[in-house]
Each structure stands twice: as C-alpha cells, then as structure tokens.
Amino acid sequence: MAGRILITTDYLHAGDAVYDLLRGHGLEPVYAPSRGSRTLKERRSLFEGISGAILASEPVTADMLSAAASLKVIARSGVGYDSIDVQAAAAQGIRVCNAPGTNHHSVAELAIGLIIMSARRLLEVTTAVRQGGWPREAGHELRGSTLGIVGYGASGRATASLGAALGMNVLVSTAHPDPANATFQYTDLDTVIAGADYLSLHARGGQSSGKLIDAPRLQTMKPTAVLINTARGSLVDEQALAKALSDGTIAGAALDVLGSEPLPGDSPLGGLENVLITSHLAGQTIEARARAGLAAAHAVIDVLENREPAHPVDR
C-alpha cells in the first residue's frame, strides 16, 4: 500500500513515533504545520494528492474538500471536530475520526489549575510581585466550595474526580449520570449553573439553540462565581461574559478556549483584570500529544487498510 499522509499538527514531525508508524505501513508523511491562517490558494490545494490527513484544529470546508479527489480519511489529533465540515466529507466518502480519551487527564488538570489560580488570585499576585509589590490579600480554599461540571465526558469526569479529591462538592449536569458513583450530585443544567462557585465547562460545541452560557444564564450565577472553559469557545457568549465580568454579575472567568483564536485585539475580554486567558493549552501536554498523534495515525491506517476506525464521528 502506498499513500501520502498530510500532517498539519504542529508538534508532529519527521522521526517521531507517528512518522515511524506511518512509514511502517508504507505511507509517506507530508508536513504542512498549522501555524496561522492559510491563503485561499493554500487551503484549496492542501489535500491535492493526499490519501489521508492528520489535522490540527484548523477549518476544513466543503470548498477545500471539493478538490480532495484522493482523500479517504481525516483524523483529528484531538477530540474536537467542529472545525471540519463532516457532512461535506461524508458526501465525498471521506471518513472523519477523532482521538477521544487521549487528553482528558491533561484537560482536567488544567481546569483545576485555573480554578486554583482564580481562588488564590495567583495571576494578580505574581504580576504585582514582578512589579515590586507584595500583595497579601486573602484568597479562598476550595474545600467545601461547589464545583459545577457541565458535560460528563472523559474530561468532565476527570475534573469532577479531582475536585472531589480536593474536598469540593460536585454538581454534574449530564444526560448520562453514573449511578455507581454516588460521590457527585447529578442534577439539571440550570441548578448546576446557579449552585456552582466554580462552573467548569466540558460540553461539546455546536449548540443549535445558541450559546450554552448566555446573558440570562450568567445572571443566574452567584456574584462570587468563576466560569472556567476548557472545552469550546462556541459555548460562551463572550460579549455577555465581558459585561457580566465588568458589572460584577460574576466574580471572574478563566478561559482556555475562545470564539476566535488568538485573542482578537478588539475583544471585550482583553482589558479585564478578572479574566484569565490561556492559549488553548488544556490538552497540550507531552503525554497527551503522544497519545493523540498515535491515535490519529492508527485511524488513518485503519481506514486505508479497509478496517473500521476506533473513533469515527461521521456515523
């Protein structure tokens, strides 16, 4: 078997485990790292002569796929796939896969890290110390506070478990509660939002009925609450969030994902002192990257060798 495999995930490179795996199956890796926007010409030619693709989270549109005559499979080196036009791919017989279960520990650890940073005001403290200050304002313990989890997939479950280990009371909004786990309280979405001291989002994007966290729901949160989003930027109405942060409707936010990345210069969130923004790093640990890259490579190989991939998102 022969075939050229496009790799746009910027941390994958010639000589690594993914390269060796693909080469071992007679495939030729072709690297075009995703590091910002591509021109229209680059997008339209990206899949020319390509049999399979291991992709970062860059957009894949119907227009791009229309020129992908030889493409058989797209595998995301991550969990999210809302950047891919799955319907257009399916119409051309192109399989689309993702790599769930590869980064949930990394996501959960960052979510808890952001909660700790917010509770102890570590961004303000470290900034002030660097500028010559020595602030001594009190923060908050997590023990006894309420952690709200929205979305109970792998990362939501892992975050809930870490929160419980820290002594937090855990409220979970999910259509699929775990009856064997009585550590958490399973309830409806609005109860979780209203009851959380720290509201951590782990739901999928693409909400057909609008933003999951919008102005009315922000109004129901505690004025001392902090919103944490390590899931999808599309879940949050950022204009409404900026207003809620400015007028004290909620105390703070910690965001690893945004509606538009990198943070636009005119974003209303950019100048706020009570929002902590990181650069889409939740799943970006060395360990998670290794698992995700190999999972995506196995998906490509399975499809090209006429086997059903482990994690298709198109069926």
The residues that are catalytic are 232, 261, 280
Contact 65, 71 (CB under 8 A): yes
Residue 214: closest CA among 270, 171, 280, 259: 259
* Residue 76, both tokens: 């995301």
* DSSP secondary structure, 159-189, as one string: HHHHHHHTT-EEEEE-SS--TT--SSEEE-H
Q: Which residue has the tokens 């570590």?
A: 122
The one-letter code for the residue type at 19 is: Y
Residue 119: closest CA among 92, 90, 94, 140: 140
* Residue 187, both tokens: 């309830």
User: Counting beta carbons within 10 angstroms of the beta carbon of residue 273, is it exposed (0 to 12), middle (13 to 18) or buried (19 or more)?
Assistant: exposed
- Per residue in 176-187, is it b (16+ CB within 10 Å) or e — as a string? eeeeeeeebebe
Give SS3 for 110.
helix
Contact 144, 169 (CB under 8 A): yes
Give the whole-angstrom CA distance, residue 228 versus residue 230: 7
Give the whole-angstrom CA distance, residue 15 versus residue 23: 10
